[in-house]
Amino acid sequence: MLRTLAGRLTLASTLLFCALALIMYLVIGGSMKNFLINNVDEELRSETVEFANLMQNGGIEAIQRMMSVENASEDVEAVFIRIFDRNHQPVLTTNLASWPVLPDARWGENKEALETLTAPAYSSPARVIWSPLPDGYGFQMGMFLSDSEELMAHFHRVFTGIFIVVLMIGVSIGHLLTRKLLFSLQLVRAAADRISAGNLDAEIPKQNGVEEVNGLIRSVNHMQSRIRTLINELQDVTNNIAHDLRSPVTRMRGLAETSLTGEQSLDDYRSLAGAVVEECDTLVGMINTMLDIAETDAGIRPLKLQPMDIVASLADITELYSTVAEDHSISVTLKVTQQPLMIMGERSHLQRALANLLDNALKFTPAGGRILVKAGKEEDQVVIEIEDNGRGISAQDLPRVCERYYRADHSRSTAGSGLGLSLVQAVVRVHGGKLTIKSEINQGTQVRIQLPGRNDAV
What is the dotted CATH code of the domain comprising 211-298?
A: 1.10.287.130
Rg (CA), the chain: 48
Sorted by sequence, the CB contacts under 8 Å of residue 240 that are 6+ apart come out as 404, 405, 418
| The 3-state secondary structure of 308-361, one letter per residue | EEHHHHHHHHHHHHHHHHHHCCCEEEEECCCCCCEEEECHHHHHHHHHHHHHHH
Tally the C-alpha atoms within 13 A of residue 57's C-alpha that lie toward its C-beta: 8
Find the helix or strand (DSSP H, E) in which 18 lies: helix 5-72
Give yes or no for a contact between 125 and 117, defined as CB atoms under 8 angstroms apart: yes
The pLDDT value recorded for residue 208 is 64
Give yes or no for a contact between 9 and 176, defined as CB atoms under 8 angstroms apart: no
The pLDDT value recorded for residue 109 is 63
The pLDDT value recorded for residue 427 is 85
* Partner residues linked to 386 by β-bridges: 373, 447
- Concatenated DSSP letters for 372-395? EEEEEEETTEEEEEEEE-SS---T
- CA–CA distance, 223 with 217 (Å, rounded to integer): 10
Do the domains spanning 5-151 and 211-298 agree at the CATH topology level? no
Q: Name the nearest CA neighbour of 302 among 353, 342, 233, 349.
A: 349
| The 3-state secondary structure of 99-124, one letter per residue | CCCCCCCCCCCCCCEEEEECCCCCCC
The pLDDT value recorded for residue 18 is 84
The pLDDT value recorded for residue 412 is 43
The pLDDT value recorded for residue 237 is 62
pLDDT in 10s for each residue of the chain, 458 residues: 556 666 777 777 788 888 888 888 889 888 998 999 999 999 999 989 999 998 888 888 888 888 888 777 767 778 889 998 888 888 898 888 888 888 877 655 678 888 888 888 888 899 999 998 888 888 999 999 888 888 888 888 988 888 888 888 877 887 777 777 677 777 777 777 777 777 767 677 776 656 766 777 778 777 777 777 777 766 766 666 666 666 677 777 777 777 777 667 777 777 777 877 877 776 776 666 666 666 666 555 667 788 989 888 899 989 888 888 888 889 999 888 888 888 888 888 888 888 888 888 888 888 889 999 999 888 888 999 999 988 888 888 787 777 765 555 444 445 445 567 877 888 888 888 898 899 888 888 999 999 998 765 44
Q: Name the nearest CA neighbour of 292 among 435, 450, 430.
A: 430
Give yes or no for a contact between 377 and 453, defined as CB atoms under 8 angstroms apart: yes
Secondary structure class of 265 (helix, strand, coil)? coil
Give yes or no for a contact between 250 and 219, defined as CB atoms under 8 angstroms apart: no
Burial group, residue 338, by CB count within 10 angstroms (0-12, 13-18, 19+)? exposed
The pLDDT value recorded for residue 66 is 86
- State how beta strands 331-335 and 434-440 pair: unpaired
- CA–CA distance, 95 with 79 (Å, rounded to integer): 9
pTM score, whole prediction:
0.46
**Would you give the end-to-end CA distance of the chain in angstroms?**
63
Where are the chain's structural domains?
5-151, 211-298, 306-452
The CATH number of 5-151 is which of 2.60.40.10, 3.90.1170.50, 3.90.1150.10, 3.30.450.20? 3.30.450.20
What is the dotted CATH code of the domain comprising 306-452?
A: 3.30.565.10
Kindly list the distances between the CA atom of residue 205 and the CA atoms of 6, 215, 216, 221, in Å, as whole numbers in the listed order: 22, 12, 11, 9
- CA–CA distance, 17 with 29 (Å, rounded to integer): 18
- State how beta strands 434-440 and 79-84 pair: unpaired
